[in-house]
Amino acid sequence: MKLKSYEIDSYRSCLRTKSPLQDTLTGLIGINGSGKSNILNSLVLLKKMVRSRPLTRDEDSPSRNKCRITAEIEYQKKTLFMRGIIEYETDEHNHDEVYSSQLKFNFREFLNYPKWINIPLQLFSLTNPFSTSINKPLMDSRWMDIIQYYHINQEDFNFIRTRRIGQLLNAVFNFFDGINYYSASQFSDPSRCPVSMELEENRPSRRVRVGGVGHERFIFDLYQSWKAKNIQFKRYINTVGNEGIGLVDNVQFTEIDIPSSSYEVTVGGKIQKIERNRLLVVPNFSINNIELSPNQLSEGTFKTLALVYYILNDDSKLLLIEEPEVCVHHGLLSSIISLIKTQSKQKQIVMSTHSDFVLDHLEPENLLQVKWIPNKGTIATPLNRAISKNDYKELKIYLKESGNLGEYWKESGFEND
């Protein structure tokens, strides 16, 4: 499944922003404040939307923002469209929380049904596609309530309760759920990273924030793949270790059992001892034969370790990466960009960048030029449309003969005037 194109309406600076995306790698370039991060964040809303409540008709909270996202999705070589109205609030860290959404789908290429149909979120869940429960009479009565509430007509109702629709929606929602976003700023200041982690029943005893990835989450994810001793961990060490970019010699974890028990007293005074399975996990990074805690790593090393981990191991369907050049020095950056390029053959990647050095590793086809225009907001244009036909032709010749994309960008700025 691929996100072929998107249209964002009324989200931050994206007043009406639309563009196609590459199946492999799309690079967003543009000056500060043009809206690159806003485009990436709007795509994260698709993931958050899957877990939100349905938008009810009579609900209209003035403090909440509403935006609309239309996604063109390719699946089994056919196209389907999803349009979501998303109601969200933004917190003081500029994170959006999605409250509710209303979804419409168009399956015209799949099922020869050209209408947009309203599909209430209650009708499916990730683990339990509604198509499997349509025969249950109990479900039927709930269905009736829902279709009446949302004014879904009989024809649409008969259509959406087919097994094929259930399968398609399930695939789309798994795809959205598999969207992940990484930004080096999530891993700023390694000194905030704890030197150890306490696990209870194999889960961190302190809640690790879901959604975003922070220091602790990275250490926990890394520990889990170390523990699994799987091929992914070997591949990671080969990439960041001396055989690869040489950031660290090795990553090890020490596990210490913490004996722990408590007592439960039942009615009648019966006392029962409950053993708790707790573990102290201590991460260790060896660099030049010195053992270091994560909080002793340099910020650049920490960020690069985390970024490479997620580029390699993340099983996203769509990976969004914010400025991979942040904090990574040029020597390493080319390895990271080739890693991103290789991974993008398996999963779709959209990344923003400011770096002409990153552009040197990309092709003009991969680029979207992002601009902010008064009254129009953020505009994203594929490079072959952002500059004149002649300039694009000249650019291709220049790249073939001698130059590179980053240099061209620095000189011309890809201006079409």
Ligand X SMILES: Nc1ncnc2c1ncn2[C@@H]1O[C@H](COP(=O)(O)OP(=O)(O)O)[C@@H](O)[C@H]1O
Backbone torsion region of residue 262, taken as left when φ is above 0, otherwise alpha when ψ lies between -120 and 50, otherwise beta? beta
The tokens of 62 are what?
């003035």
SS3 state at 287: strand
The tokens of 408 are what?
């061209």
User: Across the chain, how many H-helices and E-strands are there?
Assistant: 13, 18
Which range touches ligand X (CB under 6 A), out of 32-40, 125-133, 265-273, 384-392?
Answer: 32-40
C-alpha to C-alpha distance for 41 and 378, rounded to whole angstroms: 13
Site string for ligand X, 94-133 (x = CB under 6 A): x---------------------------------------
* Under 8 Å between Cβ of 91 and 97: yes
Question: Beta 367-373 vs 377-382: how paired, if at all?
Answer: antiparallel
The item of Mg ion, ligand X, none sharing an interface with residue 33, based on CB under 5 to 8 Å by kind, is: ligand X
For residues 104 and 354, which CB has a smaller minimum distance to ligand X in the complex? 354
* Under 8 Å between Cβ of 251 and 281: no
Shortest distance in whole angstroms from residue 99 CB to ligand X = 16
By CB under 6 A, tell whether 13 contacts ligand X.
yes
The item of ligand X, Mg ion, none sharing an interface with residue 90, based on CB under 5 to 8 Å by kind, is: ligand X
For residues 2 and 36, which CB has a smaller minimum distance to Mg ion in the complex? 36
By CB under 6 A, tell whether 347 contacts ligand X.
no
- Out of 33, 212, 246, 413, the residue judged to bind ligand X by CB under 6 A: 33
* Under 8 Å between Cβ of 318 and 178: yes
C-alpha to C-alpha distance for 387 and 360, rounded to whole angstroms: 18
By CB under 6 A, tell whether 63 contacts ligand X.
no
The item of Mg ion, ligand X, none sharing an interface with residue 13, based on CB under 5 to 8 Å by kind, is: ligand X
Binding site for Mg ion (CB under 5 A): 36-37
For residues 32 and 262, which CB has a smaller minimum distance to ligand X in the complex? 32
For residues 14 and 160, which CB has a smaller minimum distance to ligand X in the complex? 14
Shortest distance in whole angstroms from residue 41 CB to Mg ion = 9
- What is the phi/psi pair of residue 61, to 5°? -90, 120
Q: At what angle are helices 405-412 and 389-401 packed, to 10 degrees?
A: 140
For residues 37 and 101, which CB has a smaller minimum distance to ligand X in the complex? 37
Shortest distance in whole angstroms from residue 30 CB to Mg ion = 9
Q: Write down the H helix ranges in 181-271.
A: 215-228, 231-240
For residues 58 and 92, which CB has a smaller minimum distance to ligand X in the complex? 92
C-alpha to C-alpha distance for 109 and 125, rounded to whole angstroms: 24
The tokens of 370 are what?
């992002």
For residues 17 and 37, which CB has a smaller minimum distance to Mg ion in the complex? 37
The item of ligand X, Mg ion, none sharing an interface with residue 38, based on CB under 5 to 8 Å by kind, is: ligand X
Shortest distance in whole angstroms from residue 209 CB to Mg ion = 21
By CB under 6 A, tell whether 27 contacts ligand X.
no
For residues 94 and 262, which CB has a smaller minimum distance to ligand X in the complex? 94
C-alpha to C-alpha distance for 272 and 22, rounded to whole angstroms: 60
Cα 346 to Cα 23, 64, 77, 311, 389: the distances in Å are 9, 37, 16, 11, 31
For residues 29 and 305, which CB has a smaller minimum distance to ligand X in the complex? 29
C-alpha to C-alpha distance for 391 and 408, rounded to whole angstroms: 11
Closest residue to ligand X: CB criterion:
37
The tokens of 312 are what?
């390699």
Neighbours of 44 (CB within 10 A): 20
Which range touches ligand X (CB under 6 A), out of 33-41, 43-51, 153-161, 171-179?
Answer: 33-41
Shortest distance in whole angstroms from residue 37 CB to Mg ion = 3
By CB under 6 A, tell whether 32 contacts ligand X.
yes
C-alpha to C-alpha distance for 109 and 23, rounded to whole angstroms: 19
Site string for ligand X, 35-54 (x = CB under 6 A): xxxx----------------
Which range touches ligand X (CB under 6 A), out of 31-39, 109-117, 255-263, 399-407?
Answer: 31-39
Contact positions vs ligand X (CB under 6 A): 12-13, 30, 32-38, 90, 94
